[in-house]
Structure 1
């Protein structure tokens, strides 16, 4: 399988970074082809400029700095995202990636008659998410109604017209859990991606 991984965390020594590394190893050991992007290390620019935004209303040239990300997205059969949940959402770096890379003509088509947008990432068959949050599970899932899951698995996944399988793995209260709990969750992530 061809897998595009997108990692968005500024600290290379974070728990999130270790989860990301484990999944890369698992997928490569399975024989998958992996294109792995570390948005912070690659100095991805998450800020959409005015001219780029105007281009969203109709056909426009793709900014040169986005080409590598778009090529990987259109090549992949699966996408996996790694990020911490901050303020009940994804980091600005990752949000900017979606704003700029998952653009009209790439992730979806805008009908000229103003009808429903049409999915364009028909090559993506699987989507995975590994996230951590400092909030407890009840706050994220019950009180906030799991906004990250909704955005990625209801919103963005709908751009992938043939998605057959998805994973959403979240570790809650990450700042206060024990080392043993971190190891246990890491093993769970590895096992789930071994079958991904």
Structure 2
């Protein structure tokens, strides 16, 4: 399988970057081809340009400024996102990657009536490996799990109809311990090894 692994964290010594490295190495050890995408290290520019926004509501979306990212997304069989949740959401840079790269002609197309039709049928696996500073009950009960809902209801429907998915989250990062982090890394290794 050819899998794109997208990392979005500004610090290479962060736990989220360790998760990214774990996912990439586990995939490679199991014979998968990996397109490792580290948005911060690549200097990805998350802000949509004026030209991109002007063409966004048509199938002639101008994605020329992000063409290499589009080409990668269209070429892979799987996608795993590695990022922290800040303010119950993904970092702005990752949201900008979705805004700019997942445009018309890539993630979806407009039909004759102007309705969105899914277009990333090549992607048959979607995974999220993430962290939250808050405990699980604050994220899921109090806040309503907005990050997971966005991925499940916004991203996943644009992929293959039979897409397999998983969500692995380390909660309570603000009070985590080396032991809790190592246990989670092992959980990630075991899950990714099943791909």
Taking structure 1 as the reference length, the TM-score comes to 0.96
> Contact between 1:119 and 1:160, CA under 8 Å: does it hold in 2?
yes
- Cα-to-partner distance string for 1:38-73 (whole Å, 9 max, x where unaligned): 000000010002221111121336443311111111
Which residue matches 1:164? 163
Distance 1:4 1:72 in 2: 8
Unaligned runs of 5+ in 1: none
After superposition, residues 9-158 of structure 1 pair within 5 angstroms as: 9-60=9-60, 62-115=62-115, 117-158=116-157
> Contact between 2:56 and 2:62, CA under 8 Å: does it hold in 1?
no
Unaligned runs of 5+ in 2: none
Distance 1:192 1:14 in 2: 21
Equivalenced residue count is: 195
Taking structure 2 as the reference length, the TM-score comes to 0.96
TM-superposed deviation, 1:93:
0.1
> Contact between 1:127 and 1:163, CA under 8 Å: does it hold in 2?
no
Which residue matches 1:178? 177
The ranges of structure 1 where at least 4 consecutive aligned residues each deviate by more than 6 angstroms after the TM superposition are: none
RMSD: 1.1
